[in-house]
């Protein structure tokens, strides 16, 4: 009987070093002779889709895939020991049973991605993975206002003000909040469209920016 694989989750807001931690673990596994498949989602077009690139510019090669079915097919191409999945939120909730099947086959899996949306809601499938993983690393970013630990990231308007806030004062605008939550949580972006925020300065919590 094949031993089950081990599930590791690396989660946090944007700018928390998730991709860098994934790359560190992949490099370590490669040095140890582990056969690794590194997967990214083809939606992530912030850099070359054939690499995983951190916000600091560090990168490693990856196989870009568009859906869970493609992941299952890629996993069958070779007898992999470890599959590392970058930006797992783009694959959606269907990734949960797909990863479970890989684990049952004895393949270790690292799932990395956002666990919170720009409006402060749980971002599946990361919370589901965190509930059943053997190892969970929950990272924080640095608040751009005060420098404290940031568990949120805030989406910016074209004016530079956080979505859901008054553009003049930065204070939370209740009338704007419902509209903000309908915006695609998977919107791709970086420092030009998102900022890291602590709980106090996250406007989705009704605080001033």
CA-to-CA separations, 152 to 115, 117, 133, 143, in angstroms, rounded: 9, 8, 22, 9
Known binding-site positions for Zn(2+): 143, 146, 198, 201
Place of tokens 């690499």: 51
Catalytic residue among 87, 112, 134, 208: 87
Strand, coil or helix: 191: coil
Taking CA 137 as the corner, what is the angle to CA 198 and CA 103, rounded to the nearest 5 degrees?
140
Helix boundaries (H) for 8-152 = 18-31, 68-75, 95-104, 126-132
Per the annotation, the verdict on 124 as an active-site residue is: no
Annotated binding site for ATP: 12-19, 86-89
Residue numbering of the annotated binding site: 12-19, 86-89, 143, 146, 194, 198, 201
**What is the rounded CA–CA span in Å between residue 101 and residue 89?**
18
* CA–CA distance, 158 with 73 (Å, rounded to integer): 40
Which residues participate in the annotated binding site for substrate?
194
| Distance of alpha carbon 204 from alpha carbon 134, whole angstroms | 31
Active site positions, annotated = 87
């Amino acid at each position: 009987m094949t031993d089950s694989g081990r599930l590791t989750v690396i989660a946090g807001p944007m700018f928390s070093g998730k991709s860098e931690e994934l790359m560190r673990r992949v490099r370590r596994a490669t040095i140890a002779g582990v056969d690794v498949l590194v997967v990214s989602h083809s939606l992530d077009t912030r850099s070359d889709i054939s690499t995983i690139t951190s916000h600091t510019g560090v990168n490693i090669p990856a196989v870009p895939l568009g859906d869970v079915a493609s992941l299952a097919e890629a996993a069958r191409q070779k007898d992999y020991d470890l599959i590392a999945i970058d930006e797992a939120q783009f694959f959606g909730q269907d990734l949960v049973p797909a990863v479970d099947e890989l684990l049952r086959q004895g393949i270790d899996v690292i799932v990395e991605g956002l666990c919170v949306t720009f409006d402060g809601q749980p971002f599946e499938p990361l919370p589901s993975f965190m509930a059943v993983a053997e190892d969970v690393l929950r990272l924080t970013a640095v608040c751009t206002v005060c420098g404290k630990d940031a568990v949120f990231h805030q989406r910016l308007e074209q004016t530079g003000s956080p979505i859901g806030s008054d553009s003049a004062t930065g204070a939370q605008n209740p009338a704007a909040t419902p509209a903000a939550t309908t915006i695609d949580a998977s919107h791709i972006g970086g420092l030009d469209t998102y900022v890291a925020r602590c709980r106090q300065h996250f406007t989705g919590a009704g605080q001033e920016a």
